[in-house]
Amino acid sequence: MNSNVGPNLLVLLKRYNLCRICFERQLPRTIVLPSAYVTRSDKCNVCGGMMNRAGRLAKMVLRQLKQYEFASFLIGARVPAEILEQEDTIRSALKLRGGETLKAQITRTVGEIVADVTGKKVQYHRADVLAILEPKTSTIEVLSRPLFLFGRYLKSRRGILQRNRRCQTCSGQGCPTCLHSGWEKVKSVENILASALTNEFHCMEIRFSWMGSEDDNSLVQGEGRPFYAELLNPQIRSSKAAQRLTEKRLTGVSVNQLEIVDNRPEVLPPFLVKVRINITENGKIESERLRILKATLTNAEVHIDQPRKRKTAIKKVYWLRFRRRAPNRLELYMLCDSGISIRKLVGGDYGSIHPNFATILGTSITLDENRPFDILDVILPDSTMKTQSLYHM
């Protein structure tokens, strides 16, 4: 018997029925344990055989991680409270301090095996994947860190909503009409992008943040409309998948740019929009009126009443040009700040936005509902787009 272990300590340890691994965890490494004091692993009072299953748990983790692309990982464990308490009781009875806990040991042991086999590193902060051991039930739960993407989409067909719409029958509660999803089954940019992203990144759920929006019947051209996407539990997280998506042909919608970013901004930055507005004249507008419209809305402030926020937003229109396409069809081109509703700017919205087209033109005009307005470009503040493109239709 090693002289470092007092007989009293051994007697005490024996009383608690510990397996070799749990026993050794409580004592300095230098102590050699006499076999007579060791309990069979499955009878161990602390781990109940869990420590003996570390190799098997590691294998299960490895099998599940095969589906994931990752550079770093972390092993966690849900050790039942009664086991943690048992270990605490023994440690305080034996007046043991420091040393490793059962939870730390099982996660470290499994982590070392996984690192050895995969060549990937354990990382405590922002690991790509987290494998949680449920030692009692011998199950593993794998969660991967969300992946954030920044992209731009183009819309080449009319009649596609930007966002999904809540089911109108149940207002999103879930009913037989919507197959209990709470959503209407519609053709939307959101649906098209979500299914393409799910296919490439094998994720569970996607949360989008759109930089502005357009009408169902609007096209989106130029560099495209920017958006952020947060992918939950993705199995794939490489930029190659993002690249592949930009090369895909989707119906009516395509991804012009897609890159992996660190996060999505809490507040989206303001941006500029270049837009073409398609107007139907209900009586011919005199050229003089159009010239006034152009002069009024060149480098002009637009005041938008926001009664709910009890304030007036001030946005800017930088330039406006027009082109007559047919006797009663006008195309207006405009560069303006984000956050101006084109519909309200054209119609006046009962005077809540001024100046507005309706008041200046003094005649009844309507948007061509089949193609009300098109987004020709969306310009971000740090955009590298040539400034020249801002001044052309």
360 in contact with Zn ion (CB under 5 A):
no
Please state whether the peptide bond connecting residue 381 to the residue before it is cis, i.e. omega within 30 degrees of 0.
no
Between 185 and 291, CB nearer to Zn ion: 185
Between 22 and 245, CB nearer to Zn ion: 22
Min dist. Cβ of residue 104 to Zn ion (A) = 14
Between 190 and 200, CB nearer to Zn ion: 190
Q: How far apart are CA 277 and CA 346, in angstroms?
A: 9
Q: Contacts with Zn ion in 47-76 (CB under 5 A)?
A: 47, 51
Alpha helices in 324-382 (DSSP H): 342-347, 357-361
Min dist. Cβ of residue 142 to Zn ion (A) = 25
Q: Read off the tokens for 68.
A: 């994931």
Pair 213, 366: CB distance under 8 Å: no
44 in contact with Zn ion (CB under 5 A):
yes
CA-based nearest residue to 393, from 247, 295, 263, 277: 277
Q: Contacts with Zn ion in 265-324 (CB under 5 A)?
A: none
Min dist. Cβ of residue 169 to Zn ion (A) = 5
167 in contact with Zn ion (CB under 5 A):
yes
Min dist. Cβ of residue 228 to Zn ion (A) = 28
Residues 6+ apart with CB under 8 A from 323: 330, 331, 333, 393
Between 44 and 131, CB nearer to Zn ion: 44
Q: 225's torsion region: left (phi>0), alpha (psi -120 to 50) or beta?
A: beta
Q: Residue 95 is which amino acid?
A: K
- Regarding beta strands 300-306 and 353-354, do their DSSP bridges make them parallel or antiparallel, or are they unpaired? antiparallel
Interface with Zn ion: number of residues (CB under 5 A): 12
Alpha helices in the chain (DSSP H): 7-15, 20-26, 54-65, 81-93, 102-118, 189-201, 239-247, 287-296, 342-347, 357-361
Between 67 and 169, CB nearer to Zn ion: 169
168 in contact with Zn ion (CB under 5 A):
no
229 in contact with Zn ion (CB under 5 A):
no
Between 51 and 379, CB nearer to Zn ion: 51
- For the chain, state the CA radius of gyration: 32
CA-based nearest residue to 48, from 84, 13, 74: 84
175 in contact with Zn ion (CB under 5 A):
yes
Pair 194, 245: CB distance under 8 Å: no
Min dist. Cβ of residue 101 to Zn ion (A) = 12
22 in contact with Zn ion (CB under 5 A):
yes
Binding region for Zn ion (CB under 5 A) out of 16-24, 120-128, 134-142, 339-347:
16-24
Between 180 and 207, CB nearer to Zn ion: 180
- Regarding beta strands 205-210 and 272-281, do their DSSP bridges make them parallel or antiparallel, or are they unpaired? unpaired
Query: Is residue 84 classed as helix, strand or coil in its secondary structure?
Result: helix
Pair 130, 73: CB distance under 8 Å: yes
19 in contact with Zn ion (CB under 5 A):
yes
Binding region for Zn ion (CB under 5 A) out of 18-26, 65-73, 267-275, 329-337:
18-26
Among 65, 178, 236, 345, binds Zn ion (CB under 5 A): 178
Between 22 and 220, CB nearer to Zn ion: 22
79 in contact with Zn ion (CB under 5 A):
no
Among 2, 138, 169, 282, binds Zn ion (CB under 5 A): 169
Between 44 and 129, CB nearer to Zn ion: 44
170 in contact with Zn ion (CB under 5 A):
yes
Q: How far apart are CA 330 and CA 13, in angstroms?
A: 91
Q: Kindly list the residues in this chain that would bind Zn ion in the complex (CB under 5 A).
A: 19, 22, 44, 46-47, 51, 167, 169-170, 175, 177-178
